Amino acid sequence: MQVDEQLGLETFLKEKGIWYRFVNKTETTHTADASNVTGIPLSRITKNLVSQTEKGEHVLMVVSGDRRIDLKKASSALGVRNVSTVPFGKAESISGYPPGGTPTLGHKTPMRTVLDKSLVSFETVFCGGGSRSLLLELRMKDILEISQATVADISEG
Confidence of residue 66 (pLDDT cuts 50, 70, 90): very high
Q: What is the DSSP letter of 137?
A: E
- Residue 151: count other Cβ atoms within 10 Å of its Cβ: 17
DSSP class per residue in 56-80: --EEEEEEETTSEE-HHHHHHHHTS
Domain ranges of the chain: 9-156
Average pLDDT, the chain: 93
pLDDT at 64: 97
Q: How far is Cα 108 from Cα 24, in angstroms, rounded to an integer?
A: 23
Which are the contacts of 71, defined by CB distance < 8 A and separation ≥ 6?
Answer: 82, 83, 84
Provide CATH code, domain 9-156: 3.90.960.10
Is residue 110 scored above 80 in pLDDT? yes
Confidence of residue 1 (pLDDT cuts 50, 70, 90): very low
With b for 16 or more beta-carbon neighbours within 10 A and e for fewer, the 31-53 pattern comes to bebbbeebebeebbbbbbbbbbb
β-bridge pairing 46-53 and 58-64: antiparallel
Per residue in 142-152, pLDDT tens?
999 999 999 99
